[in-house]
């Protein structure tokens, strides 16, 4: 196959949620001399973006989204292992966590997985995470974005504490904040001084790309 055919096959493997096929294409493409960065950016990435768009339109659901993310991560891992020595693929860093008092983490984990599949360096700090942990981790890893999920009306205020904590730590001008969760909305994000609100995983990736200048 020519390079364009390889890239199209890579894109399709993600859309088909086929981890084994994605890995096979990655290995064969690299063996034939296809640039690993091009394979990621022009093959796998358009595929995961299309799945995200389909999810946003209600044409596919969470299981498919997760499978596509798994395929993307598998293909990307093979490509990155083939990078020439000394090559550094810059990744924007995102902190993801569910706020203190809230043990719901399925949605947050899906967003984290989807972000990782789209090339972000994701630091998942888990559920029931205090605002201080978000701030400390953001400082430690020099995060570009902090994502905070709240699934209960009683825990929404924790998102506000995270924004305030970043300000107090002198990090707010360096770190963007995106919030999400069933009781939250754009109005709430604006009220607490967050930079963005996302309703679902696909929108979350799109918003984080915008916040980091990748869209």
pLDDT for the residue 120: 92
pLDDT in 10s for each residue of the chain, 215 residues: 789 999 999 999 999 999 999 999 999 999 999 999 899 989 998 998 898 888 878 898 888 888 998 999 899 999 988 887 766 667 899 999 999 999 988 888 888 888 888 889 999 999 999 999 999 999 999 999 999 999 999 999 999 999 999 999 999 999 999 999 999 999 999 999 999 999 988 789 889 999 999 87
Does the pTM exceed 0.85? Answer: no
pLDDT for the residue 145: 98
Which H or E element spans position 9?
A: helix 3-15
pLDDT for the residue 98: 97
pLDDT for the residue 88: 61
Give the start-to-end residue ranges of the domains of the chain. 3-81, 93-211
CA distances from residue 197 to 81, 82, 131, 177 in whole angstroms, order as listed = 34, 36, 18, 9
DSSP state of 84: P
**With contact defined as beta carbons under 8 Å apart, do 201 and 114 qualify?**
yes
Residues 1 and 6: their CA atoms lie apart, in Å, by 6
Angle between helices 45-56 and 201-211 (to 10 degrees): 120
What CATH number is given for 93-211 in this structure? 3.40.50.280
pLDDT for the residue 202: 79
pLDDT for the residue 89: 65
CATH class of 3-81: mainly alpha
Rg (CA), the chain: 18
Structure tokens at 123: 């630091």
């Amino acid at each position: 196959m020519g390079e364009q055919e390889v890239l199209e096959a890579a894109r399709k493997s993600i859309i088909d949620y086929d981890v084994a096929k994605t890995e096979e294409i990655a290995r064969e493409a690299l063996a034939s001399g296809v640039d690993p960065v091009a394979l990621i950016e022009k093959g796998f990435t358009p595929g995961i973006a299309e799945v995200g768009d389909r999810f946003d339109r209600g044409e596919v659901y969470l299981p498919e989204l997760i499978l596509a993310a798994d395929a993307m991560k598998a293909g990307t891992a093979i490509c990155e292992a083939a990078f020439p020595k000394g090559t550094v693929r810059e990744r924007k860093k995102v902190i993801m966590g569910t706020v203190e008092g809230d043990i719901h983490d399925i949605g947050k984990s899906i967003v984290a997985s989807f972000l990782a599949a789209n090339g972000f360096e994701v630091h998942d700090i888990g559920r029931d995470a205090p605002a201080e942990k978000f701030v400390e981790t953001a400082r430690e890893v020099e995060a570009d974005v902090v994502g905070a999920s709240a699934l209960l009306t009683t825990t929404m205020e924790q998102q506000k504490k995270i924004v305030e904590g970043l300000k107090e730590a002198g990090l707010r001008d360096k770190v963007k904040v995106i919030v999400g969760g069933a009781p939250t909305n754009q109005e709430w994000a604006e009220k607490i001084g967050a930079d963005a609100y996302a309703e679902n995983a696909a929108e979350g990736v799109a918003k984080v790309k915008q916040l980091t200048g990748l869209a």
